[in-house]
């Protein structure tokens, strides 16, 4: 039987916990939340959901990732790899009239553009997986591989065999898989790697931890420190063309030259963060030699020292564009600032073409995407919805000479919550190749106009508008 004094005191204790927790959480929101909509949303959750709201904010709203890139990379690893001085921005024909963009991104990421790179586009999983597996088979010194999803199937089995074979012949192999992405199959595919003796780690494991909402979405493969791969591909059978309309189409890239050291350095920082092992020395960071004529720079982004790097880069690219902006993204849920920047660019006379899938693999995200379109259609941006297969590519081209490629989507999750890695490239040949690919997608896409949105049934417009409210959390 509960003592009388406990029954009298319990309501007051619970009330004190509610008020005290709400005040503490609210203070944190007011001091640290940069985005007004997110701050207002969290304040509502905290006070309208007694006890639960403050607890949710504790687990989902507080950023506890406190790493610093310089400390994690270790002394001199990247510095030794960057043997080419930063290229002068103005007067370089490869940069043209985008010198302001080059300068802005240099200040954003605090790294110079690197000369002497070659970048090859790999369209579709069949081509990209074949190139990646061939590179692993040729490895002599090291293989580092990071992916968001490592799903059981034919593709995963091929990677397990290739990585295990490399390990068996004395190659230093490290594999990093996001802890959420590792659960896409049961039993998890990463356990097959461990059984074969491959050094494998999961990024931020644990479902009921304060950081479970912060995921590593990067896709990085570096072989012998000389050749790198990045883009949108996960390790999944759904990227194979044999699946027909059910294929998830994607675009990956092969990189050679000094830029590869930045991919390796990003992996090394993540690996140290998870395992506390430093990856150093010529096996992972060899001396680099020129492989081409492209200027390139890696852009790491995440809820740590690199927060907002990609959001600012996108804003800078849109602001500096003078003729045309081409964007392909599977999820278009931009913050208001980015949507407004696209509108302003269109009103300046810049051609703005946005390519999105007609149907997403995530219905709720697709609804939210359509809820966002009216904010860009009314000012001159052109939106093109592609039919199946679902296009998972993340690409941007500005003024036929600047390409942004990598893992990040145009949504709040990629730009505020995930750990991402993109590469900016100044190269007219690559830009022409990517532009041709995107224009081919536009040719088979359906143009979306404002009147199309107006003709949608009221319940669909309400559904899409409701889904859009959750954009900061999708």
In CATH, what number is assigned to the domain containing residue 128? 3.30.870.10
Of 268, 296, 324, the domain-final residue: 296
Residue 68 has pLDDT above 60, yes or no: no
- Give the residue, 367 or 91, on which the prediction is more confident: 367
Q: What is the pLDDT of residue 71?
A: 42
Give tens-digit pLDDT for 33-50: 666 766 777 777 766 666
Q: What is the pLDDT of residue 229?
A: 99
Note whether residue 260 is domain-resident. yes
Do 223 and 321 sit in the same domain of this protein? Answer: no
Q: What is the pLDDT of residue 55?
A: 65
Do 360 and 278 sit in the same domain of this protein? Answer: no
Do 124 and 185 sit in the same domain of this protein? Answer: yes
Do 8 and 53 sit in the same domain of this protein? Answer: yes
Note whether residue 364 is domain-resident. yes
Do 74 and 213 sit in the same domain of this protein? Answer: yes
Note whether residue 278 is domain-resident. yes
Q: Which domain holds residue 23?
A: 4-61
Do 47 and 77 sit in the same domain of this protein? Answer: no
Looking at residues 170-190, what average pLDDT do you find?
90
The β-bridge partners of 143 are 173, 223
Total number of domains constituting the chain: 3
Do 326 and 217 sit in the same domain of this protein? Answer: no
- Provide the mean pLDDT of the chain: 87
Q: What is the pLDDT of residue 15?
A: 64
Of 270, 296, 322, the domain-final residue: 296
Its pTM stands at 0.86
Note whether residue 243 is domain-resident. yes
Do 223 and 320 sit in the same domain of this protein? Answer: no
Q: What percent of the chain has pLDDT over 70?
A: 80
Do 52 and 192 sit in the same domain of this protein? Answer: no
Note whether residue 452 is domain-resident. yes
Do 382 and 338 sit in the same domain of this protein? Answer: yes
Q: What confidence tier does 189 reach under pLDDT thresholds 50, 70, 90? A: confident
Do 317 and 406 sit in the same domain of this protein? Answer: yes
Q: What is the pLDDT of residue 125?
A: 96
Calpha distance 473→60 (Å, rounded): 10
Do 45 and 157 sit in the same domain of this protein? Answer: no
Looking at residues 350-369, what average pLDDT do you find?
91
Which of the listed ranges 80-84, 415-419, 469-473 does the model predict with the highest average pLDDT? 415-419
- Give the residue, 7 or 222, on which the prediction is more confident: 222
- Give the residue, 254 or 20, on which the prediction is more confident: 254
- Give the residue, 140 or 213, on which the prediction is more confident: 140
Note whether residue 302 is domain-resident. no
Note whether residue 284 is domain-resident. yes
Residue 67 has pLDDT above 70, yes or no: no
Q: What percent of the chain has pLDDT over 90?
A: 62
Rg of the chain over CA atoms, in angstroms? 23
Note whether residue 104 is domain-resident. no
Of 241, 275, 296, the domain-final residue: 296
Give tens-digit pLDDT for 103-154: 999 999 999 999 999 999 999 999 999 999 999 999 999 999 999 999 999 9
3 state SS for the chain: CCCHHHHHHHHHHHHHHHHHHHHHHHHHHHHHCCCHHHHHHHHHHHHHCCCHHHHHHHHHHCCCCCCCHHHHHCCCHHHHHCCCCCCCCCCCCCCHHHHHHHHHHHHHHCCCCEEEEEEEEEECHHHHHHHHHHHHHCCCCEEEEEECCECCCHHHHHHHHHHHHHHHCCCEEEEEEECCHHHHCCCCCHHHHHHCCCEEEEECCCCCCCCCCCCECCCEEEECCCEEEEECCCECHHHCHHHHHHCEECEEEEEECCHHHHHHHHHHHHHHHHHCCCCCCCCCCCCCCCCCCEEEEEEEECCCCCCCHHHHHHHHHHHHCCCEEEEECCCEECCHHHHHHHHHHHHCCCEEEEEEECCCCCHHHHHHHHHHHHHHHCCCCEEEEECCCEECCCEEEECCCEEEEECCCEEHHHHHHCEEEEEEEECHHHHHHHHHHHHHHHHCCEEECHHHHHCCCHHHHHHHHHHHCCHHHC
Q: What is the pLDDT of residue 12?
A: 63
Residue 444 has pLDDT above 70, yes or no: yes
């Amino acid at each position: 039987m509960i003592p009388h004094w406990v029954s009298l005191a319990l309501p007051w204790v619970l009330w004190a916990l509610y008020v005290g927790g709400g005040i503490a959480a609210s203070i944190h929101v007011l001091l640290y939340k940069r985005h007004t909509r997110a701050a207002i949303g969290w304040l509502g959750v905290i006070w309208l959901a007694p006890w639960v709201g403050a607890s949710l904010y504790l687990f989902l709203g507080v950023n506890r990732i406190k790493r610093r890139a310089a400390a994690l990379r270790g002394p001199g690893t990247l510095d030794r790899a960057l043997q080419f001085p930063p290229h002068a921005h103005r007067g370089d024909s490869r940069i043209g009239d985008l010198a302001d963009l080059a300068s802005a991104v240099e200040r954003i990421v605090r790294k110079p553009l690197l000369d002497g790179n070659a970048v090859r586009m790999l369209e579709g999983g069949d081509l990209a997986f074949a190139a990646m597996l061939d590179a692993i088979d040729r490895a002599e010194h090291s293989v580092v591989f990071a992916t968001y999803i490592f799903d059981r199937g034919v593709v995963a089995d091929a990677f397990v065999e290739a990585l295990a074979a490399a390990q068996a012949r004395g190659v230093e192999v490290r594999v990093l898989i996001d802890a959420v992405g590792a659960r896409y199959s049961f039993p998890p595919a990463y356990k097959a790697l461990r059984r074969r003796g491959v050094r494998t780690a999961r990024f931020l494991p644990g479902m009921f931890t304060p950081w479970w909402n912060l995921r590593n979405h990067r896709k990085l493969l570096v072989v012998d420190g000389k050749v790198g791969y990045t883009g949108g591909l996960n390790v999944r059978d759904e990227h194979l063309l044999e699946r027909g309309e059910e294929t998830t189409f994607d675009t990956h890239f092969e990189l050679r030259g000094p830029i590869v050291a930045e991919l390796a350095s990003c992996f090394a920082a993540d690996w140290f963060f998870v395992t506390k092992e430093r990856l150093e020395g010529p096996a992972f960071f060899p001396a680099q030699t020129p492989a081409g004529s492209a200027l390139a720079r890696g852009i790491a982004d995440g809820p740590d020292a690199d927060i907002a790097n990609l959001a600012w880069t996108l804003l800078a690219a849109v602001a500096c564009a003078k003729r045309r902006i081409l964007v392909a993204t599977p999820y278009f849920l931009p913050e208001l600032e980015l949507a407004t920047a696209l509108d302003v660019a269109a009103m300046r006379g810049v051609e703005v073409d946005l390519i999105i899938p007609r149907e997403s693999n995530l219905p709720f995200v697709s609804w939210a995407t359509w809820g966002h379109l009216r904010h860009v259609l009314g000012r001159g941006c052109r939106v093109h919805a592609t039919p199946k297969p679902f296009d998972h590519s993340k690409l941007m081209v500005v003024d036929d000479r600047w390409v942004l490629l990598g893992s990040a989507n145009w949504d709040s999750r990629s730009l505020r919550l995930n750990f991402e890695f993109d590469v900016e490239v100044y190269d007219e040949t690559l830009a022409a190749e990517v532009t041709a690919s995107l224009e081919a997608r536009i040719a088979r896409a359906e143009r979306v106009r404002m009147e199309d949105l107006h003709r949608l049934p009221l319940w669909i417009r309400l559904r899409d508008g409701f889904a859009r409210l959750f954009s900061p959390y999708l």
